Amino acid sequence: MPLLAKLFSRSSLGNLEKHGPDIATPDTDSNKSPIPPQPVTREEQEQLICAALSRFAQVPVSAIFVLEPGWNPGGLSDEQASLILKTHGPNIPVAERSLSALRMLWGAIINPFNILLTILAIISASTQQIPTFIVMMAMVFASTGLRYWQELKSMIQAVNLIKSVTTNTRVLRYRSSGSEELEIDQRNVVPGDIIAVTSGDVFPGDCVLIMAQAITITQASLTGEMMPVEKTVRLAATRPGETFDLLHNDNVCLAGTSVVTGNGHALVVSTGKDTYMASIASELSKRRPENATQTGIRKVSYVLMAFMGVMAPIVFIVQGAVSKDWKGAIMFAIAVAVGITPEMLPMIVTSNLALSAVRVAHKKVIVKRFDAIQNLGAVRILCSDKTGTLTADLVRISMSTTGTGDLSQLPIKLAYINSSLQTGSRSPIDHAIVDFVNQSEQDFFTDIPRDGWVKQGEVPFDSSRRLLSVLVSRPGGDGSEGLLITKGAVEEVLDLCVSVYNHQPSRSSDASEPLGLDISPSMTSILTADERRKILDTAQRLNEDGLRLVAVACREQLIKPFMTISCSDESELTFIGFIGLLDPLKPDATQAIKDLAVLNVQVRILTGDAPAVAAKVARDLGLIPSRQHSSTAENEKDEGLILTGVQLAALADDQDAYKDAIDRCIIFARLSPYQKLEVVKALRAGDGGRAVAFLGDGVNDALAIRGADVGISVDSGTDIAKEAADVILLEKSLAVVVDGVIEGRLTLINTLKYIKMATSSNFGNVFSVLVASAWLPYQPMLPLQLLVQNLLYDFSQASIPWDNVDPEYLVAPKTWGAMSIVLFMVCLGPFSSPFDIITFCINWFHYGIRTLHNPLVPLAQTHWFLEGSLTQLFIIHFLRTGKLPFIQSRASAPVVLTTFGIAGIAISIPYMPKINTALQLTPPEPIFYSYLLAMVIGYALVVHVAKTFYQLAFKEWL
């Protein structure tokens, strides 16, 4: 603290009173009549954030505290901190909304299918059809309860996951005894606090550095860049024309970024809702766009309502014209409208989603929104951030090369000695080098005497030199023969070199030399301008391949007792070569991308990192062609698949070019968070509407996660990303995403099975009822009998969520198609009516049941009850697949057991005492079963033929 006290001494700050009121002691009068805050646009909010930070970031560090007299380089007092905390509120960038059970229940109730069934249930009650009302409302309550319970359980788990991490921050507090350092909850950090940071610490707010010792920070969560960024304090005022760059400013550290190496002190300028992170989080509070599943369900609901609106008047006119009882015709038309709607639709949809949520939960996945499972099944494009999702978010060694790009192990060997013996804060690069050698199973590292090299001196890394040098004594010598090993940024190392090492073996080289290194004049050549250009060309080529480079050089140096080394010793070096580093792919990434391609899901990379780095990842994943050799044609081909944020912004005024670029490109690099969102929106709108998923874990991914049809994050992601996500992966495995896509398609296909079977069956029943009402003088089936038949059919279909799905239905994205349901209903539904009419004919001609008062009317009703029940139940096996049932495609055991079990119950009901009396059913004659068997087989054959022609005509089935 003496250094800080001296730097920011009160005498150096001049007259503080003239700079305005102290924000730590706000004017109490100004708070008496607060002006309601006016909503600001995103651009205005960013401008306010930039203005607050630039005020302190663009002045010399010695003048910072002149701007706010109440702030002190020794920290705020306890009283100041408490007062500011009351004024600004806790430091919470993501507004922690309380878990509203009522809001979640309302969301489960307000479902298009629930609303439709509730309206029809009320109509049924008004027409005295109380049993129908009870059944429909039971379905609504059951589906609502199941959905609410599952979503509430997942949401509690997600909230607990976000709250499970608490972070403390070290701050300075100015007290009577002087400045003291103490740890506080980061929620209590306020503007004006001085925080102490070191490796691993996260910045709790938007900060400006006031003291820094070799600090590097990672901004991957904001920018997507893998490599740490160097930060330092500002010692001079801004130059004329110098602009303020929020994300790339030397002395600004934004909330959510963390320290990789070094230590220092920073002034907290903004906290909570005033930070850049919070500006992104505020966008998440806006109304979410309708996703693919919601759109599909809404359209299907409209189709069902429109169909009822068409059929009910037709039934009313026909029935009224035949019976002349227009009041009765109205009631009958309402009953038909109710009968068209699949009563169990909400229950089937919800149970399908619940079953899938349970299955993916076993794979350590939290499903926050029920619709997310079906949305995954509909996804045609998966957009993914690069860092931490496709890659491991770790720095690893990729290659060790000469200055011309030829492979050589000498650079990595020398770099290992440098990194393992340096005593400063180890950077991720140092860790990568040491881990690579220590974990290597290759025998060419055995010539590095682990204990033979002795460090004699060190020039630590600093951000201005961008170098680190270590002086070591050679093993086996007398200690006077030393080797100075320098590694660092390419151009900085080259500037210190006078020669280049010749990596070709020489007969004159001494095999006893450690590492086989001989940097005598015979093994080196002068570093000419031409040689320098070749080395820089190699570096550029490797950079374009997505590698980050560290240059390695060395020279012999005589070691003297008690000697020290300094920056002046870093001269007349011999250039050895490069070490290439990259963020490696996750082990399962390549296979997951292949599996997604088999499922016809396209993958796009949206990242804030450099285009070359993203292209390298894409090539390794097989998303874009690999480069066999560098050529202009290949570079141009890559450029056609890569789009940067700057290029995207330039296309904003040309919508046609913009849409074409979005559809064509595979890689979107250097994107801001808002540009990621715009790309997702454009992809969703393209090609008539597509389902798009986004996988990310950073702050810069949150908006795109929210704007996608299904947003996916991971448990180690930022709180904002997890808040925005529909699905949270508890393990960073892309294979889980593939499983989710398959589960989504299973769920959607099984749901569509029920909708298509139920609507087509109900549609056929409408035709049969129309014929019966125009022909028969008696009711072909009593309302109670019809209700029991519908319940039996519905219960048989309750096992559909557990049904098998033919593999060919899983290879392409599937969504709710209203027209597909209409075609299926209209084309397949009427085929049941001829067999109903055959049943009517048997009753009319064989049994002579032709009048209302015929005592055999209950028998006629029993015949249609059995024929309708068995044909509906048996035909499930034909409609559930486009193949030949039982032979080419088998239903699951639950479906088989349920359908045949319900069929047995239907046959036995006419023989059950009391039940048959209550339903007014009577046992049929044995000969009727031969007719029934013939009708079931005939119906199955007709449906199979119709199914074959349907698939030929429309190229689809489910």
Strands (E), 390-523: 396-401, 454-459, 467-473, 481-488, 497-501
Q: How far apart (Å, rounded) are the C-alpha atoms in residues 870 and 924?
A: 14
Q: How far apart (Å, rounded) are the C-alpha atoms in residues 75 and 632?
A: 57
Question: By the 8 A CB rule, do 701 and 554 touch?
Answer: no
Displacement of CA 515 from its chain's centroid (Å): 48
Q: How far apart (Å, rounded) are the C-alpha atoms in residues 954 and 581?
A: 53
The percent helix, strand, coil of the chain (3-state, each to 5) is 55, 15, 30
Query: Residue 61 gets which letter from DSSP?
Result: G
832: its two tokens: 């049941």
First-to-last CA distance in the chain?
73
Residue 956 Cα distances to 252, 362, 563, 885, angstroms:
57, 33, 83, 17
Identify the active-site residue in 385, 583, 794, 803. Answer: 385
Q: How far apart (Å, rounded) are the C-alpha atoms in residues 296 and 378?
A: 10
Query: Residue 641 gets which letter from DSSP?
Result: T
Question: By the 8 A CB rule, do 869 and 908 touch?
Answer: no
Task: Please report where in the chains the tokens 């996951």 appear, as a residue.
Answer: 161
Q: Indicate the residue type of 82.
A: S
Query: Residue 715 gets which letter from DSSP?
Result: T
Bridge partners (DSSP) of residue 727 are: 367, 712
Residue 284 Cα distances to 675, 694, 723, 751, angstroms:
15, 15, 9, 31
Task: Please report where in the chains the tokens 């789009």 appear, as a residue.
Answer: 643
Q: How far apart (Å, rounded) are the C-alpha atoms in residues 949 and 956?
A: 11
Strand order across the 365-367 sheet: 365-367, 727-729, 710-714, 691-695, 379-384, 602-606, 667-669, 642-644
Beta-strand relationship, 467-473 and 454-459: antiparallel
Question: By the 8 A CB rule, do 22 and 68 touch?
Answer: yes
Q: Answer yes or no: 385 catalytic.
A: yes
CB proximity list for 828: less than 8 A, separation 6 or greater: 756, 760, 879, 943, 946, 947, 950
Give me the sign of the Cα torsion angle 397, 402, 406, 411.
Answer: negative
* Diameter over CA atoms, the chain: 125
Q: How far apart (Å, rounded) are the C-alpha atoms in residues 594 and 616?
A: 17
Burial 105-128, CB ≥16 within 10 A → b, else e: bebbbebbbbebbbebbebbeebe
Give me the sign of the Cα torsion angle 25, 29, 34, 39.
Answer: negative
Task: Please report where in the chains the tokens 């490109």 appear, as a residue.
Answer: 665
Residue 245: half-sphere exposure toward Cβ, Cα within 13 Å:
8
Length of the chain: 958
Q: How far apart (Å, rounded) are the C-alpha atoms in residues 752 and 759?
A: 10
Q: Is 826 helix (H, G, I), strand (E, B) or coil?
A: helix
Q: How far apart (Å, rounded) are the C-alpha atoms in residues 936 and 570?
A: 93
Q: How far apart (Å, rounded) are the C-alpha atoms in residues 469 and 488?
A: 9
Burial class (CB in 10 A: 0-12, 13-18, 19+), 451: exposed
Q: Is 828 helix (H, G, I), strand (E, B) or coil?
A: helix
Q: List active site positions.
A: 385
